Structure 1
Amino acid sequence: MSSHVAPGDQVTPGLDRRTELREFLRSRRARLSPEDVGLPSHGRRRVPGLRREEMAQLAGMSYAYYARLEQGYGETMSAEVLDVVARVLCLTEEEHGHLIRLAQPDRQSTPQATPPPQRLRPTVQHLLDALGVPAYVVSRRMDILGWNRLAAAVFGDWGRLPSAERNVARLIFLSSAMRDRFSDPADAALKVAGVLRINAGKSPGDPHLASLIQELSQKSEEFRRLWARHEVSCGSVGDSVRMRHPVVGEFDLVREPMALPGGAPMRLMTFHAEPGSRSEEALRILASWEMEPLR
């Protein structure tokens, strides 16, 4: 199964790492008020958040030095400086890692170049088919590389879609049928945008990923709004997602993502219901239900 950009198609250049770093730092400053970091407030501000000079003061550096970081020149900074900036901005662990990847990509432990065209190993598809829970495999670009029958029953039959449309982000933002499978589609969209953002930080030079982001920005106002927030997330382990299905109604699944070793980055996404719950019964019904295609 191919990525969403067919071979030979014109591909958008990758994302600009310095621009991403600049906008990320600005967005993190904007969400903090002076009171949040122990500074006095001087009345209403024209723009929300900390000013650059306040940020530099809190980080113990000159304004010019911090401004250079926010201009995208993080490769000249020490690891200690980036750690201080992360602490002052109250970054989460995921956001801290995102900052380092954008500022100093050479510090990454493994190469994050553009991955080659991805194919699912037959043994992985056999594993999917053997699992008794909904499961699918996605690439870093969120292309859906393989799935099992129960995943098709829960999310819709991806096999009836053209391969170019089998992408979680495209379906969440551009397919009403996919969105209708989630009880809270806005929350699902927020999480997908966060995963896409952190993956873009890992591979800013990937033109296929940049092309997907450009397409979603052109076609979805919701995506443009969420993308501008610069939220990052690698997908919460063990979080609950409420699904909605025309046959069994609403039910809850626990999401467990796992990295697959070998070759280009892939993640196995599994979903299970709490034992003895109504949701487990809903999955049993869907396991014997004839799959309904996405329309």
Structure 2
Amino acid sequence: MSAKDQRLELAHFLRKNRERVTPKDVGLPTGSRRRTPGLRREEVAILAGLSPTWYTYLEQARDIAPSPAALERVATVLRLSSYERQYLRRLSERSRQSSHASEGNDQTENQWTRIVESLNPVPAYVTTCLCDIISWNEAADEWYSDFSELAKERRNIVLWMLTSPVSRKCFVDWETEARELVARFRTAAVGWYGDPRLTELIENLNESSPHFRRWWEEHHVLGPNTRSSKMRNTRTEIIDMTIIDLYIGHPNGEKIVIHVPATHTG
């Protein structure tokens, strides 16, 4: 991720969140002549105890280095969640990533394959940091798709979710699942802008999915979590699933996604 790309992402994230906070949220009068959605830049700056010019430079992606304390005050004004604050801090750090996000090796993939196969009949799959699917078990085939039928460059859970008609049958509340997946993908992308695989994925998703274009522009972020979801398998059974994201090693590296079935709901 180039320094410029990182500043642009930081600026975009701040602007989108500023637009989501109303004057009423922070105790300011609404007024009848406001044309700016949410807060004005100078209002954020003053509430955070910062120079309006300095904060404007931040949203313009100028080459300035915000301190952790200044970012924390801005985060408080923008009413960011604890995870959004963590994301903001990561965006403000100088990039340390240099290797390709899509790189892997046969030995690692074989290890993951043994792990997910041992989890049968619980559905499980493994992705890279950019959500490329590198291993999965037979149960995942039953609940999702036979990923082996996809070309390797399309074997990506975000691409599958946003472009495959099967995904809409698989998830009862497809829109919520897909929107949250895009938010987790947005988080995973920090540090990888400029990587050829990430560039390819974003271009492909922008071209093929209006949902992705809209949700990407919103710049919502989510971290790995444990969540409940209603899923429909190939036999059209609807099952309550607890979906668990587990990182092994680096917190932004490869991830295993495990699905624990609950009870039948109809």
Aligned equivalents of 2:171 and 2:31: distance in 1? 44
1:215–1:37: structure 2 CA closer, same or farther, 3 Å change rule? same
TM-score, normalised with respect to structure 2: 0.90
Partner in structure 2 of residue 118 of structure 1: 104
Partner in structure 2 of residue 130 of structure 1: 118
Aligned equivalents of 1:118 and 1:263: distance in 2? 16
Contact kept in structure 2, 1:15 and 1:205, CA below 8 Å: no
Quote the offset at 1:259 in angstroms.
0.5
1:228–1:262: structure 2 CA closer, same or farther, 3 Å change rule? closer
1:31-180 to 2 correspondence within 5 Å?
Answer: 31-73=20-62, 75-105=64-94, 111-113=96-98, 114-115=100-101, 117-119=103-105, 120-132=108-120, 133-180=122-169
CA RMSD of aligned residues (A): 2.3
1:195-274 to 2 correspondence within 5 Å?
Answer: 195-237=184-226, 239-261=227-249, 265-274=253-262
Gaps of 5+ in 2: none
Contact kept in structure 2, 1:115 and 1:264, CA below 8 Å: no
Larger RCO (alpha carbons 8 Å, 6+ apart): 1
Write the deviation string for residues 191-217 of structure 1: whole angstroms up to 9, x where unpaired. Answer: 111011111123223231122112111
Quote the offset at 1:56 in angstroms.
0.8
The SS at the match of 1:16 is helix
The SS at the match of 2:199 is helix
1:204–1:97: structure 2 CA closer, same or farther, 3 Å change rule? farther
Quote the offset at 1:262 in angstroms.
6.8
Question: Does the alignment pair 1:22 with 2:7?
Answer: no
How many pairs are equivalent? Answer: 261
Contact kept in structure 1, 2:238 and 2:264, CA below 8 Å: no
Aligned equivalents of 1:212 and 1:14: distance in 2? 21
Identity over aligned residues, as a percent?
33
1:17–1:232: structure 2 CA closer, same or farther, 3 Å change rule? same
The SS at the match of 2:56 is helix
TM-score, normalised with respect to structure 1: 0.82
Aligned equivalents of 2:68 and 2:158: distance in 1? 33
Alignment-mate amino acid for residue 40 of structure 1 = P
Contact kept in structure 2, 1:242 and 1:253, CA below 8 Å: yes
Gaps of 5+ in 1: 1-12, 283-295
Aligned equivalents of 1:26 and 1:264: distance in 2? 25
Aligned equivalents of 2:66 and 2:135: distance in 1? 42
Alignment-mate amino acid for residue 210 of structure 2 = E
Contact kept in structure 2, 1:134 and 1:149, CA below 8 Å: yes
Deviates more, 1:222-231 or 1:43-52: 43-52
Quote the offset at 1:248 in angstroms.
3.9
